[in-house]
Amino acid sequence: MGNSVSPLWTLGTVMSEATSMIGNRADVSASRASLYANQAAIDVQLAIEPQELDGIAVSSTTSGENKITLPSDFYSVTNVSNLSESPPYLLTKWNVYDVDSALTTSGAPINYVLYNSWLELWPSPDSSYSIQLRYQTRPSVLTATTAVPSFDTRFGIAWMYRTAEYLADSVKDFETATIYRQKYLAALATVPSDLALRQRDRNGSNVRLALNGTTWSRDFDRRLGDGDSEFGP
């Protein structure tokens, strides 16, 4: 995953630099540095949601069966949509109380609940529908010192600062840990995330409205020009 040619930041680089930054202490072993470097990488990955962690899965429902098993590498939902309708539409996320208190019915699913290791659809499908799940995959553990994380090189400095924070905290150097925590947060705040970069090529801001009692939603594009607002279906 991640960079494959001459990477600037590897697990070994971050372990070495972070250990040096807190004073090359003898009580910081390679195994401890690796442990906290991996945790720091996970923190960065979950904070920025890199494109490399994007996953997609499509499942076909059967009549009367409202559960879809989540992929083995699933971490979190981005969105769920019904591709079988024309046009396709996004399902609205509910919680377990919404589903359990709703009347039992069947039809084209318009809502979903994330529960245990599956998605529950409501209403229960009355036919075969193609349900698409866009999701964030679970970050992988880095083992080889030459391994690289799933995020771009531009976040390498944040990864190093977070590792230094954890290492300093582990040896009870809380003052140094606080310093690197602030550096880590500042680094994240000043570097645009993958989501921010993806949004740069979009015209206007899109708002999706889920209408209760229907099986569809509508997008509105707000385009700001000479002071007027134009809304289109």
> What's the confidence (pLDDT) of residue 13?
95
Q: What is the mean pLDDT of residues 89-93?
A: 94
Out of 84-98, 106-120, 155-169, 196-210, which region has the weakest mean confidence (pLDDT)? Answer: 196-210
Q: 63 — phi, psi (to 5°)? A: -60, 130
Q: pLDDT at residue 29 above 60?
A: yes
Do 46 and 69 have their domain in common? Answer: no
Q: What is the pLDDT of residue 157?
A: 94
CA distance 112 to 159: 35
In the structure encoding, which two tokens stand for residue 233, read together? Answer: 């279906």
Candidate from 27-36, 95-104, 117-126, 223-232 with smallest mean pLDDT: 223-232
Residue 5 domain-assigned?
A: no
Strands 106-107 and 124-125 come out as parallel
Co-location of 184 and 219 in the same domain? no
Residue 63 shares a structural domain with residue 175? no
Q: Which segments of the chain does DSSP mark as H helices, in order? A: 11-21, 30-48, 96-101, 156-170, 174-190, 194-199
Q: Which of 189, 197, 91 is nearest to 134 (CA)?
A: 91
Q: Within this chain, do residues 180 and 114 fall inside the same structural domain, yes or no?
A: no
Average pLDDT of 83-90? 92
Rounded average pLDDT over 209-227? 43
Look up residue 93 and give its two tokens: 């996320």
- Whether 64 is in a domain gets the answer yes
Question: Edge-to-edge, what's the strand order for the sheet holding 67-69?
Answer: 67-69, 118-122, 111-115, 92-93
Tell whether 65 and 160 lie within a shared domain: no
Task: Note the pLDDT of residue 233.
Answer: 40
128 domain-assigned: yes
Rounded Cα gap, residues 200 and 45, in angstroms = 21
Together in a domain, 172 and 206: no
Instruction: Flag whether 207 is in a domain.
Output: yes
103-136 pLDDT, tens digit per residue, is: 778 899 999 999 899 999 999 999 999 999 999 8
The larger pLDDT score, comparing residue 225 to residue 203, is at: 203
Confidence of residue 4 (pLDDT cuts 50, 70, 90): very low
pTM across the whole model: 0.65
The verdict on 78 and 158 lying in the same domain is no
Binned at pLDDT 50, 70 and 90, residue 202 comes out as low
In a domain, 34, yes or no: yes
Residues in Cβ contact with 83 at an 8 Å cutoff, skipping those fewer than 6 apart: 58, 129, 130, 131, 132
Length of the chain: 233
Same domain membership, residue 105 and residue 67 = yes
Query: Does any domain span residue 58?
Result: yes
Same domain, 90 and 161: no
| pLDDT for 215 beyond 80 | no
The pLDDT of residue 201: 62
Averaged over 206-228, what is the pLDDT? 44
190: left (phi over 0), alpha (psi -120 to 50) or beta: alpha
Note whether 121 and 164 are same-domain residues: no
What's the mean pLDDT in 156-182?
Answer: 96
Count of domains observed in the chain:
2
Chain mean pLDDT for the chain: 83
Asked if residue 2 is part of any domain, the answer here is no
| 131 and 56 part of one domain | yes
Structural domain boundaries enclosing 88: 52-137+202-230
